[in-house]
Structures are given as C-alpha cells and as structure tokens.
Structure 1
C-alpha cells in the first residue's frame, strides 16, 4: 500500500529543487549576460570610438641624375632577348628606394623611342624605354623630367617620354601635356605634398630655349623652364606654380641648375634658394652639376621658416667615371626626408634628413665581355662585404668626398662611416 503523504512530500521537494535550480540558472545567466554586455560595450567604446591621429608621418627619398651613355647601352643589352634591361643597376639601392613612402629621381635623358631616332648619348640623349622599367623596378614613384636634355630629340622627346612614363604608372613632373598642371599634389599618409620641377633655360619674347635650342610653339609650354638670365625672372617663373599649389602641407621643388662639376653652389643658386625659402618652400632638390654639392638648411628673411636645400645630389646612374671626367662624378647622394603633420594645429614640417652616399661601381665582366654598372649605397659594412668587384680605396674616398658636402645639424645627418 502506497503512502500518499510520502509521495506528495517527494513531489514537493523535487518541484522545489527544480524551481531553485531554474531560478539559479536564470540568475546566473542574467548575471553573466550583464557582465558580458557590460564588458562588450566597454570594449566597443575603446575599439570603435573614432579618434583622430595626432601626428601623421611620411618619408620621401630623392636621388640625383640618371643618364645613359653608349657604353651603358652596350652593357645593358641582352642579345638573347634582343631587349635592354637596367634592373641590375639598382639592385643594391632598391631596398632604400622601396622603404620610403614616396621616392623621386631626376631623369636626365629622353625616352623618344628608336623608330625615328637611334638610341644615343651625349650631346643628344635618347635611351630605351626599359630604363623606365628599371626605375619602376627600383621602387621609384616620381620622375623629374625638367632638365637641359628634355628637348634633345625635339617634340618627340617630350611627347614620347611623357607617354612612356605614364604608361609605366610613374608620376611625372617637369614636362606635361599642354593643358596639364606644372606640379603634382600627392597625399602621402594624409600629408598633402606639392611637388614641382624646373630647369634653367632662356625665355625671350615668349620663346623658350633649352641648350640654346628653341622649343617649338606647340611644346614650349610643355616644359617647366625658369629664365636663368635673372634671379627675379627665375623666381617669378617658379613662384607662378608655387601659388597654384599653395593649398598643400609641404612644398618640394626640384631644380636643374648650377655649374657642371663644381663642388660649390654658385651665387645664382644661393639667391634663388633664399627667395624660394622666403616664399615658403620646404625642400629644394638640385641636379645638373653631376657632382654632390652642399646639403644644408637656410632660414627665411623673417626667421620663421626653414628650408632644406640639397644644391646637387650628384650622379645616380651614368658613365661619368673618374678616369673620364673628374674624381667626384662617381659620387652621388640619396636623401631620406622624414616629415610630419600635427593634426591639432595642421602644421607640417621636415623632421629629419638622412643622407646616404652612393658610389657608381663600373667593372668589366670577362664572361659577358660587357661593362657592369651598379649603384652602391655606402651605408652598411656588412652589406658592402657581400658585394664583389668593389674597390675599397675608391668607396672610402667616395664616402669622404660626399661627407664633406653634408652640413650636419640637428636636422641633417649622414649615415655613419662604414669604414671606421
């Protein structure tokens, strides 16, 4: 006979226990949900709350003259493919070029093609399009084309060089289509950088001349030229463009100027640089002398602005060897320019300039019966030890030559001597 009281008691205890258990589960779940959601909101606030970066930073790299002489044409031609290849020239500097956020080079030759004109060197330069491929391979972003050789093969020089470089997805300043801008504005890590390039020349009665050759009416406005007969005229030519690109954070000007093979900037360079500094230009990069001239900084007349001036970065790639020209034409310089923009006051400035000397290594390869050209950065002893066919005495001398031209300061430095 069953005891109904016991059964009822057991049922009650079971139901009560289940109720307590269910309430506990819900309470535990509720507590945990509160804890989780509270934590997530806190995390979401830290992850998704928009914050404005206080300082943006970017780095620019600039190098000197890139030229191709007949000996280089022979050395870079591949008989098996019937094509030119310049990649090996840049193998050792490639990492420096690629590491910068934006890299620039002066192209002191034309890419006119070989359908109308043959490839040639001094005094009328015309190089294979593959040179542009080599510069692209090295990591360059921008090509400056305003120089005294820009019109060496006439109208086609400007037209074809511009078309080739743009086809390779390279930015171009110095030459342009007739309706194009004389400058470029690049947004590098949210810093707006205005860049232009000008070459010395003559402007007479609205006619323009490069190397005393009159540029056709069709193309005379396609090359950025400053009148080298007068400081004021030269400044006004350039300042016309500076005013156009005034709404930028930083202004960079490439200038083809100075005296060939002179280690010292001339009075014209000094005075023009000062006027550009007074106008607010932040960086001036010089080319044309084919040797390294001083790298320094100058102050505006009112003392409120400072401009970095590299009067000449020397040769980057060429056949201007010591035995043919002088003891300084194998020397070049890469300058790495660190810039910043404070987003609180919108002020942008050059933070630091690091100078990296280069030396052009040329040697004969008996297996290929060709000369080899390599641009060597004089920055790291362990890297130099891995490179064959180097003359230690020449590279030590090259570093010394260039170091003497760098006016070091809190702003400007040169990589440590790898030979010490």
Structure 2
C-alpha cells in the first residue's frame, strides 16, 4: 500500500513538473511572439490605408465573394504583426483591425446590427487624431458607405443556405429619356459628365446584385436608334449599347411588359430584343414568358402591361389561365404587373382584385411597377403583392419626382418537393447618389441610418391603410 502511495506521489510530481514546464514554455512563446511584433511606420500606415480601401470596395462590388473575404482576413493577419503602442499611428492600425474583425462577423450571416456600429466611431476618432498628429501622412479613407456596402455584401453571402435561392427585383429603369428633357439632365449627357462606364449606374447596387442568384429589372424603354416615334408624351428611348450595363452589374433578366418598349414602333421593339440578346440578358413580356432553372428551382416569369385603360375581366381571365397553365407545386411562378395610377401611394380597386385573383390561381408573388413611386405592399393568404417598386435608375425621371425606392430581395426553397417562400427583405435606396433633391444623376444609392428608416417608415405609412397591408420590413443597417 505504501509502495503504491509512493509511486502515486512521484507521478503527481512529474505531472505537475510537466505542467509547470508547459506553462513556462507557453509564456516564453507568447513573450517571444510579442517581441517579434514591430512598431508600425508612417509609410506602412499609408500602405495599409490604401490597401484597406481597395479591399473594402472589392468585397462590396464582388457581392462578398469568398476570395475577397480571404483578402480581408489576410489584412487582419497583417495588422496583427504590429505592436499597439500609445500613439496615434498604432491607435489607427488597432482601430482599423477592429473594424475589419467586426466587418467579418457579418460573413457568418448573423444580423448583429451592432458589430460594425460599435467600433466604427473609434476608427473615425483614431483616423482624425492621426491626421491631426501626422498631417504629412496621406490616408486613403474608406467612407461610411464603403464599410456599409462591404458589410452588406459579406452579410448577404453569409445568409445563404443550401437549397435556397435569392432573387433581387428593382423597379422601372431606362438608360435614356424623352426628347423634351432639358439637355443638362438628359441621361447620356449626365452619364458622360460623370465619366460613366458600364458599372456607373449600378455601382452602389453591386453588393446585392452580385450576392444573389438572379437579378431582375423592369426595362421601361425602347433600346433603339430609331427616330420615328409614337405620337404621345413620354416617348422613352435608350441607346442599345447601354444594355451592356446589365451583364456588367450582375443583372440577369429584364421585364419588358410596359407601355414604353414599343414607343418607337415594332422596329424599335425588335432593336430592343436584339440588344438584350446580344448582351445575353434574358427578357420576358406578355406572350413571351421566361423559364429559368435557378438553383434547383424551375422559375417562370410572366409579365403584363395592365394599366387602367387595359384592364378588363377578359384580361384577368387570361392571366389567371396562364398562371394555372405554368404553376406546379414544385416550381416558382412570378408575375410582373405594370399597372395602377402614376404617383398614387395605394392601389386602386382593380389592382387588388387582379392581384388576389392571380395569387389564388397559384402565382407565388406579384411584383408591380408603373406608378413611379413606392406603393403599398399587401400580404394576402401568405403571399405578397408589391403594388409598385418605384423607379430605380430611371432616365425619364430627370427631376426626381420621388427619390425613394428599394430593392426587394426574395428567398425561396423547395421543401417536400414544394416551393415555399422563405423571406422578403428590403434594401432602402435613393434614386440618386449626389444628394440633389431635384436633379437625377441616375446612380441609385442604397442607404442606412435615418435615410433608410425614412424609406421603411414611408412603406409602412402607405401600406397601413390597405387591407392586409405589411407594416414590418426587415432590412440591414450595420450602423444602428
């Protein structure tokens, strides 16, 4: 017995000695690692500043691509090599690192709407202090929008789930205008004045357009060089070359069912179809459905121009019949309706009648346009009617009669061989990005903070008065 006790004591001694040695070794390694860290130089700060701006912008424009996320993590690792001393240079690098760590929290798909908002003020304070202490240092300063778009892109990627698809819809778009538009506000002139390239119009939309599975716009214009036009007001024409904006910006399809694609007669419409085909952008129209396999879900897009003067019981009966023709439980049928009264906030009776009947026939959701402003959203029997998405990049709205718009993000999945909707989120957006209240620069600006809240509150305000009006909207704001 004593022998066993003696052996046990020896073993305990050896274990404790080993633990002490391991602790000493770990401490020694930590101290050695700390010694290997170096002070950051002014030149290195300038390089890191420039690098961080480029990395944020690339992450945003790629829609949060994994390879761009990897570059963010590599920059964080690089920042880890520096000592955090008591000076403004080190404070800046430390704050930049903390912001990048918070940014990458969103890549997990968690809507902790405070991660970036908490550390961003410290980053701004550190940056201002550095500029004050070291005015000779040239900083490439990421704006709050750079951080917002990068965070949104990372978040949208992180939210993706196996088996789900995400679709992004935006409202009316035209990359041209009508002849009576003042010269300085004509789309082509504004585009050239801003040094526009193929990503100019949707530059700020890329975090969402490039992080989804399919992006759809309403193309409310003839894309033609024809000069002979209908004898009507608001003859809208865009340069056919501008269709190239769409593939350059992650847009896969366009709805042509509206009252302007034939403004330049059949010749202009044929030019429009040719321009979209040339750029490999899919289109759909009344009598021309679009069938696409998106992920594992067969998706049918149906479009109808059904303004007040076009609506009739016969028209509704035809739409209902076509929806029934295409809809199965294992596929997705989306109906785009060009309808309603321009600049009206709520639907008129025929829209409600048409919308509910179309959903009863089996359609999964209705996406509306034509009123040139946001209109009510209704949830009817578990399905949505977005009565109007408003204008988006609309060259025929040069004076911004309504700046507020949005992207509508829809998620669907197949469960037990049945397609179900998993969610609707909103991206609050302004039609222009230069702060003008009455002149359009044709570059939509997704927004955060008060401007985003104002758009959400407007949607709530115009949806509340209608039956089944939606009064809660999910949206992403990392600066709350």
TM-score with structure 1 setting the length: 0.65
Q: Per the alignment, in what secondary structure is the counterpart of residue 257 of structure 1?
A: strand
Aligned residue for 1:89?
201
Give the Cα separation in 1 of the matches to 2:319 and 2:341.
20
TM-superposed CA distance for 1:264, in Å, is 0.6
Alignment of 1:413 onto 2:470:
no
Q: Write out per-residue CA displacement over residues 8-55 of structure 1, whole angstroms, 9 at most, x where no aligned residue.
A: xxxxxxxxxxxxxxxxxxxxxxxxxxxxxxxxxxxxxxxxxxxxxx97
Q: Per the alignment, in what secondary structure is the counterpart of residue 88 of structure 1?
A: coil
* 8 Å contact from structure 1 (residues 290, 314) kept in 2: yes
Give the Cα separation in 1 of the matches to 2:424 and 2:472.
5
Q: Per the alignment, in what secondary structure is the counterpart of residue 269 of structure 2?
A: helix
Give the Cα separation in 2 of the matches to 1:298 and 1:240.
20
Q: Per the alignment, in what secondary structure is the counterpart of residue 458 of structure 2?
A: helix
Q: Write out per-residue CA displacement over residues 203-243 of structure 1, whole angstroms, 9 at most, x where no aligned residue.
A: xxxxxxxxx8xxxxxxxxxxxxxx41x2x222122134324
Q: Per the alignment, in what secondary structure is the counterpart of residue 291 of structure 1?
A: coil
TM-score with structure 2 setting the length: 0.57
TM-superposed CA distance for 1:291, in Å, is 0.5
* 8 Å contact from structure 1 (residues 406, 414) kept in 2: no
Q: Per the alignment, in what secondary structure is the counterpart of residue 200 of structure 2?
A: helix
Give the Cα separation in 1 of the matches to 2:440 and 2:365.
36
* 8 Å contact from structure 2 (residues 346, 463) kept in 1: no
1:192 pairs, out of 274, 298, 307, with 298
Alignment of 1:172 onto 2:283:
yes
Aligned residue for 2:325?
244
Give the Cα separation in 1 of the matches to 2:469 and 2:424.
10
TM-superposed CA distance for 1:404, in Å, is 3.5
Alignment of 1:349 onto 2:431:
no
TM-superposed CA distance for 1:136, in Å, is 2.0
Alignment of 1:315 onto 2:404:
no
Give the Cα separation in 1 of the matches to 2:273 and 2:325.
22
Larger radius of gyration: 1
TM-superposed CA distance for 1:78, in Å, is 7.0
Query: How does 1:7-406 map onto structure 2 within 5 Å?
Result: 56-67=163-174, 68-69=176-177, 70=181, 71=185, 72-77=187-192, 85=197, 87-114=199-226, 116=227, 123-174=234-285, 182-200=288-306, 227-228=310-311, 230=312, 232-247=313-328, 249-299=331-381, 306-318=382-394, 324=399, 326=401, 329-342=402-415, 345-361=416-432, 363=434, 372-379=441-448, 397-398=454-455, 400-405=457-462
Give the Cα separation in 2 of the matches to 1:333 and 1:269.
21
TM-superposed CA distance for 1:104, in Å, is 0.5
* 8 Å contact from structure 2 (residues 341, 370) kept in 1: yes
TM-superposed CA distance for 1:182, in Å, is 2.3
* 8 Å contact from structure 2 (residues 463, 471) kept in 1: no
TM-superposed CA distance for 1:413, in Å, is 2.7
Q: Which runs of no fewer than 5 residues in structure 2 stay unpaired?
A: 1-160
Q: Which runs of no fewer than 5 residues in structure 1 stay unpaired?
A: 1-53, 176-180, 203-211, 213-226, 300-305, 382-391
Give the Cα separation in 1 of the matches to 2:456 and 2:360.
33
Aligned residue for 1:223?
none
Give the Cα separation in 2 of the matches to 1:371 and 1:246.
40
- Tell me how large the CA RMSD over aligned residues is: 3.4
* 8 Å contact from structure 2 (residues 224, 272) kept in 1: yes
* 8 Å contact from structure 2 (residues 432, 440) kept in 1: no
